[in-house]
Amino acid sequence: MNTLIAIPIKLKLILDSIRFEHTVFALPFAYLGMVLAADGLPTLTQFILITLAMASARTLAMSANRIIDRQLDAENPRTASRPLPAGRLKLWEMTVMSAVALVVFLVSAAMLNTLTLILAPIAVIVVVGYPYTKRFTWTSHFVLGWADGIAPAGAWIAVTGSLSWEPVLMAFVVATWIGGFDMLYSCQDRDFDVQRGLHSIPQKWGIPAAMRWAKGMHILTVLSLLALGPWLELGFTHYIGWALAAGLLVYEHHLVSPTDLSKLNMAFFNVNGYIAVIVFTFTFASIYM
């Protein structure tokens, strides 16, 4: 009986540790690539497999991140209370979660089409390799953006079995959006990064410079998202979603300043989730306009 009770408790700890609920950031963009590739709704099988592939890929990425960075997390006051460094989860438990996610991802990719299976190992290398990049390069923010940008391009390939320039633009939208926000998010660890010799834009050039970099990245996000409309001949609702997303990005930058990072979590947990859902919803609606 104790074992039966412990299993769901451990599973909840694992899901909390990897912030499973934040799959909402990447999944709407995967669905965006899916519906644009299908010019509407894909088959039910494609929808299920794409959902499994994207959710498992993110789970693999976050699990690997927690495993690889467990010692750094234990030393960082901001992350020391996470289940793995705090000892509430064992290393083997998180490793099992990673292995399960890897299997689900590869099987889902194999069941979609040949090209998704061929490219799946590359995606695994990117999402698992990201945590190592901050140990030797400040460009780690761009790697994280690239890892998340795989979502819409991967979904496009899952539906069409081929890659073209349209999903590359969608991937660029996501990569600049996530990469830019990671520059903001890493500001709160600037002192720790300096102390431990980790690399980031805040560590290399300071917090004010990181915020300027992030604004530049998000300007690229807004411009590339706008360009998606005429390229794919989307309806007017796409531009409504674009305007709302652009406004939220402006608001996100107003929430933080070099001297006040207290609302950074609000920007990350709330505003970014709204942006992803809004872009998908209004662009999906535009297909039928």
pLDDT of residue 1: 44
What gap in Å lies between CA 214 and CA 135, rounded to an integer? 21
pLDDT of residue 268: 72
pLDDT of residue 204: 95
pLDDT of residue 47: 96
pLDDT of residue 281: 94
- Could you tell me the pTM of the whole model? 0.93
pLDDT of residue 143: 96
What gap in Å lies between CA 91 and CA 104, rounded to an integer? 20
> All domains of the chain, ordered by start, with CATH?
2-287 (1.10.357.140)
Residues of the chain with pLDDT under 70: 1-7, 20-25
What gap in Å lies between CA 29 and CA 174, rounded to an integer? 8
Distance from chain centroid for Cα 212: 21
Residues contacting residue 143 through CB under 8 Å, at least 6 positions apart: 126, 129, 130, 133
What gap in Å lies between CA 175 and CA 147, rounded to an integer? 8
Task: Report CA-CA distances (Å) from 96 to 93, 109, 279.
Answer: 5, 20, 34
